[in-house]
C-alpha cells in the first residue's frame, strides 16, 4: 500500500513538473510570436500580418469600436498608434493547453507628450503548428 501511495505521489509530482515546463515553453512561444507581430507591424509587412491574424479575428478598441482582420491590418499599415507597436509594461500569459493561450498586459503609448496606458487582452491559438491571434481587446486606463 505504501508503495502504491508513493508511486502515486511521484506520478502527480512528475505530471506537475511536466505541465510547468510545457507552460513555460508555450509562454516563450507567445512572447516570440508577439515579437514577430511587432516586427511585421513596424515593417508594414502585410503578408506576415495576414498569416498572424486568424480569418475570424476581431479587435475591440477602447472606444468600443470593433474591427475585423482586414481593417485591423490596414490600420497597422497606415502607421496608427497601436498596442502591437511596443513591448508591454506588464504581461501575464495563461496557458490553457498546447494550442490555446491568453495574454493580459498593460502597454503605454506616447501620443505627442501624452502617455496613454492600455490594459489589453489577447487570445492566441496554434493552428497547423503556427500561432495566430483570434481576438484582442483594449481598455484605456485612467491615470
Give residue-wise pLDDT tens across range 33-62: 999 999 999 999 999 999 999 999 999 998
**Mean pLDDT of the 125-138 span:** 95
Q: Residue length, the chain?
A: 143
**CATH assignment of 2-140?**
3.10.450.50
Q: Give the mean pLDDT of the chain.
A: 84
Cα distance between residue 94 and residue 121, in whole Å = 11
- What percent of the chain has pLDDT above 70? 83
Inter-CA distances, 25 with 32, 35, 46, 82, Å: 11, 15, 28, 27
Give residue-wise pLDDT tens across range 8-31: 454 444 444 444 446 889 999 999
The β-bridge relationship of strands 53-60 and 66-68 is: antiparallel
Dig out the grid coordinates for 86 from the structure. 511596443
Domain boundaries, the chain: 2-140
Cα distance between residue 114 and residue 34, in whole Å = 25
Contact by Cβ (8 Å): 48, 61: no
Cα distance between residue 53 and residue 132, in whole Å = 5
Q: Taken in order 45, 51, 56, 61, is the CA torsion positive or negative?
A: negative
Amino acid at each position: 500500500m505504501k508503495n502504491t501511495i508513493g508511486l502515486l505521489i511521484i506520478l502527480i509530482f512528475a505530471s506537475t513538473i511536466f505541465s510547468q515546463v510545457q507552460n513555460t515553453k508555450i509562454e516563450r512561444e507567445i512572447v516570440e510570436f508577439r515579437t514577430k507581430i511587432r516586427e511585421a507591424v513596424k515593417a508594414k509587412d502585410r503578408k506576415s500580418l495576414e498569416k498572424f491574424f486568424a480569418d475570424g479575428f476581431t479587435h475591440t478598441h477602447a472606444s468600443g469600436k470593433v474591427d475585423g482582420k482586414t481593417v485591423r491590418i490596414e490600420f497597422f499599415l497606415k502607421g496608427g498608434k497601436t498596442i502591437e507597436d511596443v513591448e508591454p509594461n506588464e504581461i501575464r500569459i495563461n496557458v490553457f493547453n498546447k494550442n490555446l493561450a491568453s495574454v493580459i498586459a498593460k502597454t503605454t503609448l506616447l501620443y505627442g507628450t501624452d502617455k496613454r496606458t492600455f490594459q489589453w487582452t489577447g487570445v492566441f491559438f496554434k493552428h497547423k503548428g503556427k500561432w495566430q491571434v483570434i481576438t484582442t481587446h483594449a481598455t484605456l486606463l485612467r491615470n
